[in-house]
Amino acid sequence: MIRREALSDAVAGAGRVFDQAAASAARVSPSAPVLFFGDADAYDESPLRAVTVGLNPSLEEFQAGDPFCRFPLAAGIAAEDHARYLDAM
């Protein structure tokens, strides 16, 4: 099982970069950084693993009418709430 503590630095780093981009026209607001998504524990236990890399989500992922429809637990999340962030992903 993936230890959430092991992801803490990565989650904190994603939050810092996200905050630094607050004034950027490229940042979708409201939104949240998407470090990864999926079932991290199932991935850790699987003998087959695949990882894809891409850019952070677009306006299509955080739509104006319901910006957190794909990540409902991320709505209104505090930067220091790493456990809730991991649950949201």
Distance CA 14, CA 46 (A): 25
- pLDDT score of 55: 65
Distance CA 83, CA 89 (A): 10
Domain coordinates in residue numbering, the chain: 4-88
Tell me which of 54 and 82 has the higher pLDDT.
82
Structure tokens at 5: 């503590």
- pLDDT score of 56: 62
pLDDT in tens, 39-57: 878 888 889 888 777 666 6
